[in-house]
Amino acid sequence: MAVLKILTYPEPVLRQRSKPVGRWDQELYKLIKDMTDTLEAVPGLGLAAVQVGVPVRLFIYDEGPGDGKSERSYSVLVNPEIVSQEGEIREEEGCLSIPEYRDTVIRSAVVKVKGFNKKGDPAEITAEGLLARVFQHEIDHLNGVLFIDRLSSLKRGLFLRRVKKLQKQSKAELSGKL
């Protein structure tokens, strides 16, 4: 079991557009396994490769988020893209790369996503509700977009001021220990 470090904002790689996966090889399967172990160890519903410092277009997700199943079951989407979307939902969202911060985000209520599964076979999934939100959130990561980018400018400004304040506090605490 290899639990990987999840990168947090403002880590620059989180803002990069991830590159398409070109080969299904042992390196890719190891990454998927390690990402699954990582997601199993944290309270999240999805994890994009870029969040563990590997900017390739893949994410793993819990197949039944919020359905009350006692056991989590994970799937992989490689080179995913949203091919259609409809409706709108406004709900609170959080992110493993932005710990201890949640806010309301507007997303499409239903999305159709195409890509490839773990074996490299074509996959097309229509998702709604929470799973649709997870897909959109993770695909945003692959495009270098964080959920805070989907907030109003006022809320994003408040978030950024909070981050700067925390960074100043950390620097002050660190210099006090030296």
State residue 159's pLDDT score.
Answer: 87
93 is known as an active-site residue: no
> Under a CB-based contact definition with an 8 Å cutoff, are residues 32 and 58 in contact?
yes
DSSP state of 136: H
The parent domain of residue 63 ranges over 12-151
State residue 170's pLDDT score.
Answer: 72
First to last CA, the chain: 36
pTM: predicted TM-score of the whole model, two decimal places:
0.89
DSSP state of 6: P
> Under a CB-based contact definition with an 8 Å cutoff, are residues 103 and 159 in contact?
yes
- Strands (DSSP E) found in the chain: 46-48, 58-62, 74-86, 89-95, 98-107, 110-116, 122-128
Catalytic residue among 11, 71, 138, 173: 138
> Under a CB-based contact definition with an 8 Å cutoff, are residues 151 and 103 in contact?
yes
Residue 165 resides in a domain:
no
Residue 114 resides in a domain:
yes
Residue 66: CATH number of its domain: 3.90.45.10
Number of domains in the chain: 1
Which residue ranges in the chain fall short of pLDDT 70? 1, 65-70, 174, 176-178
Residue 126 resides in a domain:
yes
Residue 159 resides in a domain:
no
Q: How many CA atoms lie within 13 A of 17 on its CB side?
A: 3
State residue 164's pLDDT score.
Answer: 83
Residue 168 resides in a domain:
no
